[in-house]
Amino acid sequence: MKSALVFPGQGSQAVGMGKELAKEFPVAKEVFDRVDATLSQNLSELMFEGPETELTLTTNAQPALMAASMAALKVLESEQGFNAHRQAAYVAGHSLGEYSALCAADSLTLEDTARLLRLRGEAMQKAVPVGEGAMAAILGLELGVVVKIATQAASDLYLTGAICQVANDNGAGQVVISGTTAAVERAMELAKLAGAKRALRLPVSAPFHCALMQPAQEAMEEALKGVTILPPKPPLVSNVEAKAVADPEAIRSGLVAQVTATVRWRESVAYMSAHGVMRFIELGAGKVLTGLIKRIAEGVTAISVGSPADIAAFSASAKP
pLDDT band for 50, please (50, 70, 90 cuts): very high
Q: Please indicate whether residue 95 is annotated as part of the active site.
A: yes
Question: Residue 53 has what pLDDT?
Answer: 93
Q: Please indicate whether residue 315 is annotated as part of the active site.
A: no
Q: What are the beta bridge partners of residue 6?
A: 92, 282
Find the catalytic residue in 3, 94, 100, 209.
209
Q: CA angle, corner 256, sides to 169 and 107, nearest 5?
A: 95
Instruction: From 142, 150, 190, select the one nearest 169 (Cα to Cα).
Output: 142
Work out the burial of residue 85: count CB atoms within 10 Å of its CB; fewer than 13 is exposed, 13-18 middle, 19 or more buried: exposed
Q: What are the beta bridge partners of residue 236?
A: 91, 245
Reduce the DSSP state of residue 35 to 3 states and report it.
helix
Find the catalytic residue in 12, 95, 107, 304.
95
* d(C-alpha 208, C-alpha 174), whole Å: 16
Q: What is the pLDDT of residues 257-269, one digit of tens each?
A: 999 999 999 999 9
Q: Are strands 174-180 and 133-139 parallel, antiparallel or unpaired?
A: antiparallel
* d(C-alpha 8, C-alpha 25), whole Å: 22
8 Å CB contact between 143 and 172: no
Q: What is the pLDDT of residues 131-189, one digit of tens each?
A: 899 999 999 999 999 999 999 999 987 666 899 999 999 998 999 999 999 999 999 99
Q: What is the pLDDT of residues 62-97, one digit of tens each?
A: 999 999 999 999 999 999 999 999 999 999 999 999
Question: Residue 320 has what pLDDT?
Answer: 40
